[in-house]
Every structure is written in C-alpha cells, then in structure tokens.
Amino acid sequence: MEWLLKGDERQTPQFSEPAPEAYGVRPGPPLDVALLAEILTEIKKFMAEKHVKLSPQREARLIAVVYDQCRESKVKPDFILVERFLWITKVD
C-alpha cells in the first residue's frame, strides 16, 4: 500500500503469484490490430443496418469468433461473415 501511495521504487512490491507459464499458458500470436479494427467496424455497421442490439458478452464473443475465422482463413471481414457468425453466438 505504501508503494502505491508514495511510489517509492525501493519498496517495489514482490508478487508471489506464479508467472502464467507456471499454469501452462503460452502467449499466442500477436494481436493483428488492423484486422481487429476492420472487424469492429464491420460488426458496428452490421448492427446499425440490421438494428441489432447485443449484450456486451455476446458482442465480445462475436468479435472473437470473427477475428479467429478471419485470421485462420486469411479473409477480410464482411457483412455476410458477420451475419453467419452472429447466429453461432446466439446462446447467452
């Protein structure tokens, strides 16, 4: 707490939590920010045109599914792709 309040570098907190590697978690490929921006734009455009409202959780799943598909298939996101995967994420 003292370190957070005063920022004294000599008292930098020591974390006892193991590194993610200890849990068998490996870093994935770097995030393709340009692709993610295209996907977000396409999803927002789709939602506006179709008057679709999604819960934040469902929207996040849709973004993740479309991102994975575009990355794996090396395709650009489009209206049809978003519509196809929207129904896959229907279960809330």
Tokens of 3: 């370190």
Tokens of 88: 């896959």
Structural domain includes residue 58: yes
pTM beyond 0.85: no
Structural domain includes residue 34: yes
Task: Give the up-direction half-sphere exposure of residue 37: CA atoms within 13 A in the CB hemisphere.
Answer: 3
Structural domain includes residue 3: no
Residues 6 or more apart whose Cβ sits within 8 Å of residue 40: 63
Structural domain includes residue 1: no
Structural domain includes residue 17: no
Structural domain includes residue 35: yes
40-89 pLDDT, tens digit per residue, is 999 999 999 999 999 899 999 999 999 999 999 999 999 999 999 988 87
Q: Which domain holds residue 62?
A: 28-88
